[in-house]
Structure 1
Amino acid sequence: MGRDSSTQTPSREVQNLQERLRAISYVTRRFAEETTDYARLLDTVAETLGDTLRDSCMVFLLDDPPETVTAVAMHAPDAHVLEQFRESFRDRKIPLSAQPAFQRIVTTGEPILAPRLSATETSPERARWQEKLGLHSALLVPLRVQGRSLGILSLARFRPESPPFDEQDQELAQNLADHAALAMENARLFAAAERARAAVHRSEESRRQFIEASPIARYVISANDLRVMEVNAAALALYGYSRDEFLRLSLNDLRHPDDRQRLMAALDAAGDDHTAGLAKHRRKDGSVLYVEGGSQLASYHGEPARFVVVTDQTKRVRAEQERDQTAERLQSTLDSMKEGYTIMDRELRYVYVNRAGAEQTHLTREELLGRTPLELYPGFEDTPIHLALQAALDTGQPQRVENRFVHSDGETGFFELYIQPVPEGLVVLSVDQTDQRRAENRRDSLEEQLRQAQKMEAVGRLAGGIAHDFNNVLSVILGYGEDILATLKEGDPIREDLQEIHAAATRAAELTRQLLMFSRQQVFEPKVVSLNDVLTGMERMLRRVLGEHLELITSFAPELGRIRADRGHLEQVVLNLVVNARDAMPNGGRLTIETCNVSLDEAFTQNHLGSSPGEYVFLGVTDTGLGMDAATRTRIFEPFFTTKELGKGTGLGLSTVLGIVQQSGGGIWVYSEEGHGTTFKVYLPRVDAELDVRPSVRPTADLLGSETVLLVEDEPGVREVARRVLERAGYQVLVVESPLEALLVGDTYPAEIQLLVTDVVMPKLSGADLAARLLEKRPSIKVLYMSGYTDRGIVSSGVLDGSVPFLQKPFTSEQLARKVRQVLDDAH
């Protein structure tokens, strides 16, 4: 009779629910009891479902590969149905392709509920089978775990009185199927674990037997705490422990303290990988043991462990250490040599280079080794060194060569090489003579500078003496010339001739002035000035001097220091250098004038005779002209030396520059090559003082006076000219020709004498000594020196640096009158 829920009594529903719960409880309990035999589990599922639902149940599992299924459990309350099941399904692989419903469940994982089967919905063969057995309802649910299909649970109604399957039946079947699938998975995992444990046990036993039987030292350590877990006889013999002692150790006990930190680092770096290498261990007696080997991570007695194998390498390591120590001593000895020691193979490849050898090449050993000089130095094949190396290889004979070599960084070196052939190639001993050559060149340069300085000093003394005599003569010519010109009227026929005589004397006076500048006997009036200010004031004039075909570039340092120099003389230096540069650029070019602050060190002064370390102001004058050869450069500062055509230069321009610069405490050097222009570098001492203010020029009308002047001059012509000029200016003049007469006048003259005007160089008593003796008796008397040149006496008195009033011969009437008035009006 069919089952209708609307007519079923509540007690029947409760009874069905209780039966389902008992079925679930029973199956769950069986699952807990059975952990590996999932065939019995599935029999239980089939039997429980069949009994609970009072009809047939079969379990099919997917085969491998999953293209077929096989019946593994079946239950039917009717014997003829069960027999038909066995006949149709036992020991048969049923293709999923022949069972669309099975294929669908495996693919989708969704159950199929067919409450009432119809013969028209299946194949004729299947319809006959259903009719024969009386199959009228079916329920198929999947066996799945973690989204993976394991098989199918198939339930069927054959009894006519059995109701069709409903959703409650499907829920019960799916519940038991899910439990069965989970139990199957657990059973599979448990079986796999058991197999793994058995394999591990067999493996560990094999390993233990292998370790014990091995003639090589082997032991097992825990991967967790490094304690020893197993050891063989070979390891006991190697380390000197008994078995019980060894098993109480850890790897840290075996390792030498010096090597423990490296051990831990190696194990941390290895992780789960194997380790290998050389290690420093200790025997039981404390002696050092060097072992080589490795370890492999595996399981031992269920614990992660490392299987260690080691071999004794102590003798080898000791031999290597001895060899290394010998090599180090040899390396240290070779590196302590001042000479370069190089070994090359027969292809001239660097095989060994000591420290000095590498330093000589200006390269590192790493850059040298394995390479040839041909690779490192382009053009090396054309050098004498290469020819000597090749000759040593070809002839087998030692070679010696001296060579000037240009390094890759552009620096030049000088070397003496001794090349010795050996079977493997060449041994080269290289002696670096660069410093020696530089010292020789510096010595030669300084000797040449000294010879030049001595020659210039001699020329300067000669020029100064000549200038002195000429200045006396020129003073007379200029003085009398001015007197006569003053008496001649405009248009007088001899006035023009006299003016030419006066002009010629003035030009001659300029020449003597330049000679005195060169000989550093020209008195100058130093003031604290700014070189930038001087150059800025001259710039317009310099551009006119250069002309339009030359470009002038200026570069003045903004914070330029101050210098102490005669402004007029400084302008003379700049002008002479600019004119010299202009004449060196007849076809146009560029002139650069620059200034900056510089510090000169000992290295500079060692190579530049006459210079001193310190702070300087630099003046650079660079042209792009013709340049000079070495012979010309050595003579350019000589007076009257010129490369210009006859009549186009006196040859005093650069000699004057030299004299002014040296008299200002500085130095000048020239750098020039033919075709590459010229640079003059001037260095003037920097001073820390305020700028001096330039004094205003007194008008000519204010040059008169009425004071008493004592005039001392041993040259009659000069004495007479000076007397006439001073008397015309209103002064009372006491004229004497010798210092002794002057002392007598100083003792006997009853009135005050305001000014002593005296020549510097006189017989028996110098002007400076005369002034000193007069000042003892007449402290208020003022002094004005005159001279055609200066000697050491007035140098020491301060005349040359401008601290003592001085008038340079030859002088004009106005110059004498102006200087006398200036000295008398000076409050000091």
Structure 2
Amino acid sequence: MNKTVGSNHSDDIAGFTFSPKILDTLLEGCQVISPDGRYLYINDIAARQGRKPKSDLIGKKMVEAYPGIDQTRMYTVLQKTMEDGKHRTMENEFVYGDGSTGWFELRFDRVPVGVFILSLEITQRKLAETKISHLNAVLRGIRNVNQLITREHDPKRLISQACDLLVEARGFESVIIGLIDLPENRVDSFANAGVKLHALETLLKAGSLPDCAEVAVRTRKFVLRNNQSDACRGCSVATGLGEKIDDLALPLIHDDHLFGFMITSLPQGMGKDSDEQNLLQEVASDIAFALNSIQISTAHNATQIALSNTEAQLQQAQKLEAIGRLAGGIAHDYNNILAAQIGYCDLLQDHLESDSYVSKELVKIKACADRAARLTRQLLAFSRKQAMQVEVLDLNAIVTNFKRMLIRLIGEDLEFNTVLASDLGHVQADPGQIEQVLMNLVVNARDAMPDGGTLTIETANVYLDEDYAKMHVGVVAGPHIQLTVSDTGIGMDKTIQSQLFEPFFTTKEPGKGTGLGLATVYGIVKQSSGNIWVYSEPGQGSTFKIYLPKVDEPLTQHLASKKATALGDGELILIVEDDPALLEMFVKMVVKLGYQVKTAPNGKAALELVAAQNLRPAMLLTDVIMPGMNGKQLAEKLGKIQPGLHVLFTSGYTDDAIFHLGVLDSQSMFIQKPFSVDDLAAKIRQVLTTR
């Protein structure tokens, strides 16, 4: 009685013969291999599994039908079974001639004529196992990335660690994540992990996107590359890896905002799987969400910092404004006192011998008063109450003309450089005060470099945009001229910088400075509608940047003027001053100069006097700030009565409300208290001879 080959026990099989008819009906592949490796029998299933007709196999050696099979593990197991007769099973991946593969479960049993092999195709099962294993790895990577998202707040570290985690989870051969700049779509930064693709790295470092990423970014859809024909530059499909790799490129998008791209290299065939695609789109979405959150957080932090800086600037500006009002008021009152002192010193000198003891002491008194007057002028400059004779200026010309004096000021131990813009625009300011700004900043820089260094003055055309204006209190957006004074000195910390422009603040030793130099600079710049900012770190030097509004007007032209005549010729001058001591002193000075005088203590009294006596004075000398009617209003009323009346204004400072934010118009003549008899004589003659 014959028994069918296929029993589970090799010991039983040894004495049995096989029945081809029965074997042909089995659902498994069956084949019998002779001791010399020839096919003695193969059923239809096995032939289909081997992808060759039975006629091409029967009688042939295995190595002839499938070259290289003798190098496989399956062939080794066959030989061992042939030798010892032991039953063996194995799972084997078979590589076909076209490069495709199939998985089989093989059972080897020795029979009298050789070895009987039973083969069951398990390709689908192995693919399912591989897919499940791969998806588990991907899920593990996604879980790790999600944990990363909760703790990482730097975009570059985020994408770098995300690449590492996804590759470490063994779901991908390589991962590349790139961040791009919009709208140019150039790579700003990227990170990669896994198999190194040098050509792709070179492409990304140059700021360019590989073709697959470019398409993904443009279409905002994933792009699959899985064969040489559609491979893109540098990607794994275009390299030797491409034989077993799928490349999948995905855009990183959140709320329709594009952040970059991700390229993953997967085992071949995985890129087409819908579950794989969904998981990758999920991880891309998670990374984009994290990048969006970081961007929002960064913007919020930047806004908070900007708000804090703006609040600090506003508080500083308000503090300086309050100090300025106080300083201006004190300086105004003090100037009235000094005006009387200096005036009376001049008047008394005329009644004394120049070499007398009293005359010499008066000279000392006046010198002290002059020093006090200089201090009050600096206070007035800080408080923006100083009179300004505004002109349209070229800052390059100011720097060039003033350079020789500045070089003498700083000495030979410092290197002095100028970098002046060739096409510099014009500004509107008082040239004398701009020179004072330069001098004070240069002195400050010199003192900050006791061991030598470099001082640089620069000019430039700049445009301050709305964003800059929002970040800097008091700045109006638009074209400006930048004047920069920088040094390589000792620098300043934030505490010193916060007090830098306050009157009488100084870091110098007692007696080495008044503390008014930078306060004066601040006031002049502000009164010129400009802004000043300081940038400094301890040991890193300091840079002062001044921004003055650019004006599209021609430079002011200066005409030669005749020398003023010191004495008058009996012309009538109406003097209006609310301070009795000053009024008395003004009268004595004007009478001494050869003029007739009429006086009034205020504007109303002056109008009544003119009306009552039908006066037609040659000139009105009036204080600007008086109770009731101010000097400007008085001049306007008298001008209606007497058109063409010459007017000379005087004050301890020029009030913003009266003179257009402290700037005298072209029709106004002004002399600032305190002044000497000679100063007054020259100014009166200038006013009377001006038409």
TM-score by length of 1: 0.51
Deviations 1:729-779 (A, max 9, x none): 332221111222101022233342232221122122222222232223223
How do 1:245-264 residues align onto structure 2 when only pairs under 5 Å count? none
Q: CA deviation at 1:816?
A: 1.9
Report the Cα distance in structure 2 between the residues aligned to 1:679 and 1:797, rounded to whole angstroms: 28
Within a 5 Å distance, the mapping from 1:489-500 to structure 2 comes to 489-500=353-364
**What letter matches 1:578 in structure 2?**
V
Is 1:533 matched with 2:397? yes
Q: 1:470 aligns with which of 334, 358, 377?
A: 334
Compared CA separation, residues 679 and 590, structure 1 to 2 (3 A)? same
RMSD over aligned CA atoms reads 4.4
Preserved CA contact (<8 Å) 2:624 2:630: yes
Structure 2 residue 429 is the aligned partner of structure 1 residue 565: yes
Any residues of structure 2 matched to 1:377-776 within 5 Å, and which? 431-432=293-294, 433-696=297-560, 698-701=562-565, 704-776=568-640
1:1-56 deviations in Å (ceiling 9; x for gaps): xxxxxxxxxxxxxxxxxxxxxxxxxxxxxxxxxxxxxxxxxxxxxxxxxxxxxxxx
Q: Which amino acid aligns with 1:611?
A: V
Count how many residue pairs are aligned between Structure 1 and Structure 2. 474
Structure 1 SS opposite 2:644: coil
* Runs (5+) with no aligned partner, structure 1: 1-213, 219-273, 278-312, 377-425
**Residues 788 and 810, structure 1, Cα contact 8 Å, conserved in 2:** yes
**1:79-109 Cα distance to aligned partner (Å, 9 max, x none):** xxxxxxxxxxxxxxxxxxxxxxxxxxxxxxx
Q: Structure 1: how far apart are the matches of 2:636 and 2:323?
A: 32
Q: Secondary structure at the match of 1:552?
A: strand
How many Å apart are 1:564 and its aligned residue? 1.2
Query: How many angstroms apart in 1 are the aligned matches of 2:537 and 2:436?
Result: 25
Asked whether the equivalents of residues 433 and 524 of structure 2 are also in contact (C-alpha less than 8 Å), the reply is yes
Alignment match, 1:281: none
Deviations 1:605-644 (A, max 9, x none): 2222111222222111111111111100111100000000
Change (3 A) 1:684 1:349: farther
SS in 1 for 2:318: helix
Taking CA–CA contacts closer than 8 Å with sequence separation of 6 or more, which of the two structures ends up with the larger relative contact order? Answer: 2
Q: 1:364 to 1:652 in 2, by over 3 A?
A: closer
Structure 1 counterpart SS, 2:658 = helix
Tell me if the contact between 1:528 and 1:562 (Cα under 8 Å) persists in the aligned partners. Answer: yes
Compared with structure 1, are the counterparts of its residues 354 and 605 closer, same or farther at alpha carbon in structure 2 (3 Å cutoff)? farther
Which SS does the other structure have where 1:795 is aligned?
coil
What are the residue-to-residue correspondences of 1:135-534 with 2, within 5 Å?
343=162, 364-367=189-192, 431-432=293-294, 433-534=297-398
Tell me, in whole angstroms, the C-alpha distance in 2 between the residues paired with 1:714 and 1:755: 18
CA–CA separation in structure 2 for the residues paired with 1:624 and 1:595: 18
In 2, Cα distance between equivalents of 1:528 and 1:275: 86
How many angstroms does 1:429 deviate by?
A: 5.6
Task: After TM superposition, give the deviation of residue 802 of structure 1 in Å.
Answer: 5.8
Q: 1:115 — aligned with what?
A: none
1:366: Cα distance to partner?
A: 4.9
Q: Provide the rounded CA distance (Å) in 2 between the counterparts of 1:738 and 1:548.
A: 55
Structure ID, larger Rg: 1
- C-alpha displacement of 1:524: 0.6
Structure 2: gaps of 5 or more residues: 1-46, 52-96, 101-123, 182-186, 202-285
Aligned to 1:793, the other structure's residue is in SS state coil
In the aligned structure 1, how far is the partner of 2:687 from the partner of 2:98? 101
Aligned match of 1:818 in 662, 665, 682?
Answer: 682
Contact 1:670–1:678 at 8 Å: present in 2 too?
yes
Deviation at 1:682, TM superposition (A): 1.2
What's the secondary structure of 1:617's corresponding residue? strand
Shift of 1:787: 1.1
The secondary structure found in structure 2 opposite 1:585 is: coil
Partner residue, 1:118: none
Structure 1 548/799 Cα, relative in aligned 2: closer, same or farther at 3 Å?
A: closer
Q: Are the counterparts in 2 of residues 350 and 370 from structure 1 also a CA contact under 8 Å?
A: no
Distance 1:648 1:597 in 2: 36
Relative to the length of structure 2, the TM-score reads 0.60
Distance 1:793 1:706 in 2: 35
Letter in 2 for 1:737: P
Structure 2: distance between partners of 1:515 and 1:366: 59
Q: Aligned equivalents of 1:544 and 1:646: distance in 2?
A: 24
2:562, 2:587 → 1: CA distance? 22
SS in 1 for 2:489: coil
* Pairwise CA distance, 1:566: 0.7
Query: Which residue is 2:213 aligned to?
Result: none
Map of 1:795 onto structure 2: 659
Distance 1:566 1:643, change over 3 A: same
The AA in structure 2 aligned to 1:752 is: R
Task: Kindly report which structure 2 residues correspond to 1:80-91, keeping only aligned pairs within 5 A, or say none.
Answer: none
Equivalent residues in 2 for 1:114-129 (5 A)?
A: none
1:768–1:797: 8 Å Cα contact kept in structure 2?
no
**Counterparts of 2:639 and 2:98 in 1: how far apart (Å)?**
104
Aligned mates of 1:344, 1:633 — CA distance in 2? 45
1:521–1:800 contact (8 Å) kept in structure 2: no
CA offsets per residue over residues 116-159 of structure 1, 9 Å max, x none? xxxxxxxxxxxxxxxxxxxxxxxxxxxxxxxxxxxxxxxxxxxx
The separation in 2 between residues aligned to 1:492 and 1:709, in whole angstroms, is 34
* Counterpart contact for 2:385–2:656, Cα < 8 Å: no
Cα separation, 1, equivalents of 2:384 and 2:337: 21
CA distance in 2, matches of 1:813, 1:799: 25
Give the CA deviation at 1:586: 1.0
Is residue 681 of structure 2 the alignment partner of residue 786 of structure 1? no
Sequence identity, in percent? Answer: 43
SS state at 1:721 partner: helix
Secondary structure of the structure 1 residue equivalent to 2:482: strand
Shift of 1:215: 6.8
8 Å contact kept, 1:754–1:780: no
